[in-house]
A and B are shown apart, each in its own frame.
Chain A
Amino acid sequence: MDKKITLDHNLEVFSRIASLKIHTTKLVEGLLSGHHRSQNKGSSVEFADYKDYSPGDETKHIDWKVVGKTDKHQIKQFEQSTNLKATILLDASGSMGYESTNPKAIKKMDYARTLVAALSYLFLKQSDSVGLYLFNETITTPVPARSKPTHFKYILHELVMLTPQGATKLESVIESLAKQLFGRGIIVLVSDLLTKETGIEKKLNLLATRGMEVIIFHILDSDEVSLPFEGDIVFESLEDDSSIGLNPDDIRETYQREIQKKIKYYRSLCSNLGIDYIFLETSTPLEQGLTYYLSRRKNPGKR
């Protein structure tokens, strides 16, 4: 968790980080700010109330103006921002590297990358600590949670340097992560959930029962949903060496039914486990996802 983070000083990387940062900043700034408030009172910038001084209180918090007026030692109380710990899990398996045949369409990985960056920025902007875990079969790149604004660049760096590869082993990843995370916090899973695994339900349940707030961003390319291809095609797997030759016309309807069935399954599963499930097609503007998230944070009881 305390793994030292180093930055790649490559110019191109910097350029891409900068681009991502600008894009993300614009995206987030354009949305609502200040929606994320703590219900706990503590030392913060916003005044909340006064209380009588009692021994042990820090004298620096005595409002001397009030002492002058009332001759009573009053201490200012402020609304204290939570020290929220957000952990973002980003699927870095090969399947996330799918690039749509439509050149104008955003790549799935870029979509996920931007989403993660935006969320990170949002967390950090609200002084929450954010950690990023990239995974495929295992956690490949852990970025420990920090709340410093400068932590953002480390996150951006890892996002930029990310190369999707390997198979998705979500079960083992969640299991290992559950062992590392303590206390309450938010876990954001960004993945296409394209895996043959069947025990995900148990693992998600494990997280949910430990009091963690789990949000799943299920990202799929439009091609993956509709299978729009024509002619005889050999489909080669992005995660392993398997391939299959077929004409999509033959299976399109069945495939579409199958993928919708999966989405429905995850939606139903998450609903049952009290997990926020947001399905995003890459054709959907990213703002929608973030808007949902922010509205969710504003109205925590609303699911």
Chain B
Amino acid sequence: MSLNFLSPLYLFGILGIVAPILIHLLTRQKKKYLRFSAVYLLMEVKNRCTKRSTPNRFFLLFIRCMAIILLSIAMSNPIFSFNTSNNFATNNPSANVFIVDDSYSMGTQVNQETYYSSAVKTVLEIIQSLPNASIYTVVSGSSSGRILQEWTDAPGKIKKILETSQPSVRTTDIGLAIKQALRLLEPVSKKNKHIYILTDRDRNGWDKNYPSALETKIQHPLHIIDFSEMRSGVNQAAVTRSEVQQEFLNNHHIVKVKIKVANLLESKLINKLNVSLWIDGKKKIGGTIDIDADSSAEKELSFPLQSNDFLNGEIRIENDSLITDNIRFFSHQPDQTIKTLVVDGDPNTVEHLSETFYLERALNPFDSSHSNIELTFSTPGELSRLNLSDYSVMILCNLQDLPYGYEQELEKYSLSGGALFITLGDQINTKFYNEKLGGILPVFLKAIHTTTKNKEPFRFLIQPSKHPVLNIFKGKALQEMKSITFDTIYSIEAREGTNYTTPITFKNEFPAIIESINGKGKVILFTSSIDRDWNNFPIQPTFLPWIQRWIKYSARGLDSHLKKNLLIGEPFYLQKSSEKPTVYITSPNGKVTYPSSINGKIEFQDTDTPGVYKIYQDPNNFSTRETSTILPQLPYGAELIGSFNVNIDPIESIPGKISNDEIKSLLPETNITFSSGYQKLNVKKTGESRAISTFILILMGIMLLFEGWLVRKE
């Protein structure tokens, strides 16, 4: 047990007891002695008589002195602890590094206090118990590894820094903090050096590669103070994922948000956990979710778009003891058009003879943006001058082959989320497709099949489908599709080890559409031509919705070639050519950054706040900077061009704790002592580690009331 004081100077107030003592001495009555005959009778009577008409003046003095002492103690902000922090105290001044785990899990609340605030109090207690002339420094125990306070011998500085600090949203990284501590201790001349780690011992914060990862052996005593035992409130659930998809398949503009929520309780099912979706701070939709113990469940929340404004969204679940992991941010730009690059492999000066003539009319029928598909036409020769990352979908129409080495660009584009829609025709160099596009196409082009005039042409095998593209073709539309005839088609053969589906086939069971996933992008292969050379499909009324839906469907990973979802602390990168306007990034807290750009690569490091970061460009400015700059506001005329989300790493929410033995095995030959932060601050449990000042003040008040009553009685 120990009693420590955060403001010990107030203890000098105890000297105030001199006042009542002096008053007592000056006003005391000299004790009278009387020789009396019937003392034995007085004794007998006194034993039977309990009445005390006058208070004992010493008792009154005691009460008054105690009241002053209690007031001084209360003012000095005492902290009582059963597990004395003097365990760490040495007689000689020492150098002490406090590694305070400020990961977001330390924000777990226990009786209106967080682990972090308890850790702060413990640091102050320990400092209080250390001899004068000791020096202290405080290092963050999260992945930032920041030095919160450089070496100082003034406990007041530490107190000021820590009491105004908050847990970060980062994950625990004890190794980084120990490295930092060792670096700090190295030049210190004091003999006694201590490292204190105040943590909730989240397993993810301990590197299995210790001690090699630390580079240096820990030669100083290491004190680990655990706050995980303090958990009385339970962090029951965390949102671990949120993905936005806009339904492009119809014009209803439905936005779907897929969420994943983890049940962090090892043996308790969560029933009807409230989940809600918020847009721009307003609740849009809510629901509940059931999650089995120690597992995760997914749910899809969808809502119709009412405008094409940028969506700044949050997924929230009901609060538990750790609020930080109950929110996950997402963003969406609904009015984003699908930028589509059409590469015409058989261009013709006569417009309607061009391979892409019907495609263009189908995808952009009114030469306006109603379809949300913005077409750019190119020839194979022009491809090398284009930046593929500007396009969400690339349609290769009857393309004989690609410029030398361009297949690698195409593969990279597809892997990073670009959609490829490939149509065939008479220009196709089968050898090129089969040999060079192995990384993209899951099939070999086997042979061309043509029907003669007397024979039945190829037709779609029409049957109701659940495929997202085809499920709208029902009834009359389905019947209409039966009339589509194909003269020529390619047969295919699967490549080894590839996966693909055939959403629609011909009646002879030859695939009409091959669909596959390549990295983050979709690859769609149409085994006939997109013009009228091999079929009459382009002049059929179903062609327009059919091709539009395939393009929109393939563009589902529209923005995925930009890494949109980052974790706290992860840098954001963006390729930018010198011809492109200047980019600005606004943080969720409103800070505007002019990010640095080196060799056309924009780098943004300041992702320490969870939320949606918006990317703007200034069409009137084409400059770049090598160092990042904070701007007071966005330049006039800057346009929103995109966004990315920064969320906390859910790994920190996983309840697994590293044990003493595991730590010892990770750090062999290190003098480690373990203690419980819960025991250190258990005062509140037995009445409010919370500081006992209030209790002492109440006691003092009671004493003064009692004193007043005694005096009044006298």
B34 touches A251 (CB 8 A): no
A246 touches B (CB below 8 Å): yes
**A250–B32 alpha-carbon span in the complex (Å):** 16
Q: Which of B29, B41, B53 contacts A259 (CB under 8 A)?
A: B41
A32 touches B (CB below 8 Å): no
A265 touches B (CB below 8 Å): no
**A235–B34 alpha-carbon span in the complex (Å):** 5
Q: Which chain A residue shows the least CB distance to B50? A: A250
B37 touches A247 (CB 8 A): no
A254 touches B29 (CB 8 A): no
B37 touches A244 (CB 8 A): no
A192 touches B (CB below 8 Å): yes
Enumerate chain B residues within 8 angstroms of A94, measured Cβ to Cβ: 37
- Given the known inter-chain contacts A247-B53, A249-B54, A250-B51, please indicate yes or no for A234 contacting B42, CB distance below 8 A: no
Interface residues of B in 29-46 (CB under 8 A from A): 29, 31-46
- A46-54, A210-218, A225-233 - the one binding chain B: A225-233
B26 touches A (CB below 8 Å): no
B52 touches A (CB below 8 Å): yes
**A247–B51 alpha-carbon span in the complex (Å):** 10
Q: How far does the Cβ of A8 sit from chain B's closest Cβ, in whole Å?
A: 26
A255 touches B42 (CB 8 A): yes
**A220–B49 alpha-carbon span in the complex (Å):** 23
A242 touches B45 (CB 8 A): no
A243 touches B39 (CB 8 A): yes
- Given the known inter-chain contacts A247-B53, A247-B54, please indicate yes or no for A238 contacting B44, CB distance below 8 A: no
**A22–B46 alpha-carbon span in the complex (Å):** 44
Enumerate chain B residues within 8 angstroms of A233, measured Cβ to Cβ: 31-34
Enumerate chain B residues within 8 angstroms of A258, measured Cβ to Cβ: 41, 44-45
Q: How far does the Cβ of A66 sit from chain B's closest Cβ, in whole Å?
A: 63
B31 touches A235 (CB 8 A): no
Q: How far does the Cβ of B46 sit from chain A's closest Cβ, in whole Å?
A: 6
Enumerate chain A residues within 8 angstroms of B45, measured Cβ to Cβ: 251, 254-255, 258
**A70–B46 alpha-carbon span in the complex (Å):** 82
Q: Which chain B residue shows the least CB distance to A192? A: B37
Q: Which of A231, A232, A235, A250 contacts B36 (CB under 8 A)?
A: A235
A255 touches B41 (CB 8 A): yes
Enumerate chain A residues within 8 angstroms of B49, measured Cβ to Cβ: 250-251, 254
Q: Which of A98, A231, A234, A243 contacts B37 (CB under 8 A)?
A: A98
Enumerate chain B residues within 8 angstroms of A244, measured Cβ to Cβ: 39, 42-43, 46
B48 touches A (CB below 8 Å): yes
**A45–B608 alpha-carbon span in the complex (Å):** 138
Q: How far does the Cβ of A256 sit from chain B's closest Cβ, in whole Å?
A: 9
B33 touches A242 (CB 8 A): no
Between A96, A235, A239, A258, the greatest number of chain B beta carbons within 10 A of the residue's beta carbon is seen for: A235
B41 touches A98 (CB 8 A): no
**A155–B122 alpha-carbon span in the complex (Å):** 89
Enumerate chain B residues within 8 angstroms of A262, measured Cβ to Cβ: 41
Interface residues of A in 59-86 (CB under 8 A from B): none
- Given the known inter-chain contacts A95-B38, A249-B54, A259-B38, please indicate yes or no for A234 contacting B32, CB distance below 8 A: yes
**A196–B40 alpha-carbon span in the complex (Å):** 7
Mark B640-656 against chain A: 1 for CB-CB distance below 8 A, else 0.
00000000000000000
A221 touches B (CB below 8 Å): yes
**A98–B32 alpha-carbon span in the complex (Å):** 16
Q: Which of B35, B38, B54 contacts A194 (CB under 8 A)?
A: B38
Enumerate chain B residues within 8 angstroms of A101, measured Cβ to Cβ: 34
Q: Which of A108, A236, A247 contacts B39 (CB under 8 A)?
A: A236
- Given the known inter-chain contacts A243-B39, A244-B42, please indicate yes or no for A250 contacting B52, CB distance below 8 A: yes
**A196–B39 alpha-carbon span in the complex (Å):** 11
Q: Which of B35, B46, B48 contacts A238 (CB under 8 A)?
A: B35
**A224–B33 alpha-carbon span in the complex (Å):** 16
Q: How far does the Cβ of B294 sit from chain A's closest Cβ, in whole Å?
A: 72
Q: How far does the Cβ of B41 sit from chain A's closest Cβ, in whole Å?
A: 6
B42 touches A251 (CB 8 A): yes
Interface SS majority for chain B? mixed
Q: How far does the Cβ of B53 sit from chain A's closest Cβ, in whole Å?
A: 5
**A223–B51 alpha-carbon span in the complex (Å):** 21
**A246–B254 alpha-carbon span in the complex (Å):** 93
Enumerate chain B residues within 8 angstroms of A249, measured Cβ to Cβ: 53-54
Enumerate chain B residues within 8 angstroms of A232, measured Cβ to Cβ: 29, 31-32, 54
A250 touches B42 (CB 8 A): no
A163 touches B (CB below 8 Å): no
**A127–B487 alpha-carbon span in the complex (Å):** 178
Q: How far does the Cβ of B47 sit from chain A's closest Cβ, in whole Å?
A: 10
Between B29, B41, B42, B53, the greatest number of chain A beta carbons within 10 A of the residue's beta carbon is seen for: B42
- Given the known inter-chain contacts A233-B32, A244-B43, A258-B44, please indicate yes or no for A250 contacting B53, CB distance below 8 A: yes
Between B31, B35, B37, the greatest number of chain A beta carbons within 10 A of the residue's beta carbon is seen for: B37
Q: Which of B31, B40, B52, B53 contacts A237 (CB under 8 A)?
A: B40
**A132–B519 alpha-carbon span in the complex (Å):** 135
Q: Which of A96, A108, A194, A234 contacts B33 (CB under 8 A)?
A: A234
**A255–B36 alpha-carbon span in the complex (Å):** 14
Q: How far does the Cβ of A113 sit from chain B's closest Cβ, in whole Å?
A: 16
A238 touches B36 (CB 8 A): yes
Between A97, A224, A254, the greatest number of chain B beta carbons within 10 A of the residue's beta carbon is seen for: A254
Enumerate chain A residues within 8 angstroms of B53, measured Cβ to Cβ: 247, 249-250
Q: How far does the Cβ of A239 sit from chain B's closest Cβ, in whole Å?
A: 8
Q: How far does the Cβ of B232 sit from chain A's closest Cβ, in whole Å?
A: 52
Q: How far does the Cβ of A209 sit from chain B's closest Cβ, in whole Å?
A: 30
Q: Which of A98, A224, A246 contacts B46 (CB under 8 A)?
A: A246
Interface residues of B in 469-517 (CB under 8 A from A): none
**A236–B37 alpha-carbon span in the complex (Å):** 8
Interface residues of B in 513-541 (CB under 8 A from A): none
Q: How far does the Cβ of B104 sit from chain A's closest Cβ, in whole Å?
A: 67
**A244–B34 alpha-carbon span in the complex (Å):** 10
B48 touches A254 (CB 8 A): yes
**A258–B49 alpha-carbon span in the complex (Å):** 12
A246 touches B33 (CB 8 A): no
B39 touches A98 (CB 8 A): no
**A95–B48 alpha-carbon span in the complex (Å):** 23
Enumerate chain A residues within 8 angstroms of B51, measured Cβ to Cβ: 250-251
Q: Which chain B residue shows the least CB distance to A93? A: B37
A229 touches B34 (CB 8 A): yes
Enumerate chain A residues within 8 angstroms of B52, measured Cβ to Cβ: 247, 250
**A251–B42 alpha-carbon span in the complex (Å):** 8
**A22–B223 alpha-carbon span in the complex (Å):** 99
B33 touches A237 (CB 8 A): no
Interface contacts beyond A242-B40, A244-B39: sample of 12 additional A-B pairs, CB < 8 Å, sorted by A? A221-B37, A232-B31, A232-B32, A234-B33, A235-B36, A235-B39, A235-B42, A236-B35, A237-B40, A238-B37, A250-B54, A258-B41
List, sorted by A's number, 30 A–B pairs whose CB atoms are closer than 8 Å: A95-B37, A97-B37, A192-B37, A194-B40, A232-B29, A233-B31, A233-B33, A233-B34, A234-B31, A235-B36, A235-B39, A237-B35, A239-B37, A239-B39, A244-B39, A244-B46, A246-B46, A247-B53, A250-B46, A250-B49, A250-B53, A251-B42, A251-B45, A251-B46, A251-B49, A254-B48, A255-B45, A258-B41, A258-B45, A259-B41
6 nearest A-B pairs in the assembled complex, by CB-CB distance: A95-B37, A237-B39, A98-B37, A235-B36, A233-B32, A249-B53
